Amino acid sequence: MPQFHVVTDPDDPAVAPFRAIKERDLVGREGLFIAEGETVLRAFVRDAPQRVVSLLIDPKRKDKLTDVFDSLPDETPVHFADQAVVDAIAGFHLHRGVLAVGRKPAPIATRDLLASLPTKAIVLVLCGIANHDNIGGIYRNAAAFGVDAVILDADCCDPLYRKAIRVSVGAALSIPTAKLERGEDIADLLAATGFEGLALSPSADEILARLQPAPRTAVLLGAEGPGLTPEVMTRSRRIGIPMAGGFDSLNVATTSGIVLHHLRFAQG
């Protein structure tokens, strides 16, 4: 059974991990993260209950979350605090009334993650995606279309930032993820582990709708504006999405959804 605890004082040391969320999110939490909202909490407890450290809940939501509490590991602290106390702890008005502290998974080397995947797999490789809305949207699409793993380069933002988790509807908590070391060559890693890299380009000769993907396929997506580096483009199979006149690019999260939908059904 979880350990239930009523909090009436915002300075109660039991809820210290939840204090001043916005400021601390900017500098990191030493291996921990904050997840917000009922939908995200349900995804977290469903997919990774062993990584739930503690919860902070408005007691008005208690009855709706009984099944969630029953799924928590024994002894997990669940703190109940009225809305005004929750707001004082968090440092802003938290209208969702549900917070969780989670423990980040142990890091895994990119090569090891790629090598561990099945013979038929789809991987996303994100390069320079520094916007939390985009990273969250991409993870949401990745979950919807059954992506096996996500690889982040050294310039991507943290998918376990609170806003990114919320936009991903909790998907960022469950999809296997590895981060490249700065200077690590993703093209070499993909080749060594049997993945064909697909790079989206408006000047590509091949059209996505006609693409028959390899059993192991990696989709490389760059930040809007800079895009992928010329070296990555040269060493990848370039694919285009035809658009109406006057447009040659899409939001990167939108692009990920279109490409992953095609790949999932083209692979069979």
199 forms beta bridges with: 220, 238
Averaged pLDDT, 155-174: 94
Q: 79 in helix, strand or coil? A: strand
Domain co-membership, 132 together with 254: yes
Query: What pLDDT, in 10s, does the model give residues 192-224?
Result: 999 999 998 877 889 999 999 999 999 999 987
Domain co-membership, 170 together with 77: no
Query: What pLDDT, in 10s, does the model give residues 49-63?
Result: 999 999 999 999 999
CB-based contact 54:34 (threshold 8 Å): no
Which one-letter DSSP state was computed for residue 209? G
Query: Is a pLDDT exceeding 60 seen at residue 28?
Result: no
Averaged pLDDT, 243-264: 90
Residues 6+ apart with CB under 8 A from 182: 154
Domain that holds residue 259: 110-267
Boundary (domain end) residue, out of 67, 85, 103: 103
Query: What pLDDT, in 10s, does the model give residues 69-117?
Result: 999 999 999 999 999 999 999 888 887 889 999 999 999 999 999 999 9
Domain co-membership, 255 together with 136: yes
CB-based contact 134:251 (threshold 8 Å): yes
Residue 224's identity, in one-letter code, is E
Domain co-membership, 129 together with 154: yes
Domain co-membership, 198 together with 88: no
Boundary (domain end) residue, out of 48, 70, 103: 103
Boundary (domain end) residue, out of 49, 77, 103: 103
pTM of the full structure:
0.93
Query: Is a pLDDT exceeding 90 seen at residue 48?
Result: yes
Q: What is the DSSP string of 97-152?
A: -EEEEEEPPPP--HHHHHHHS-SSEEEEEEES---HHHHHHHHHHHHHTT--EEEE
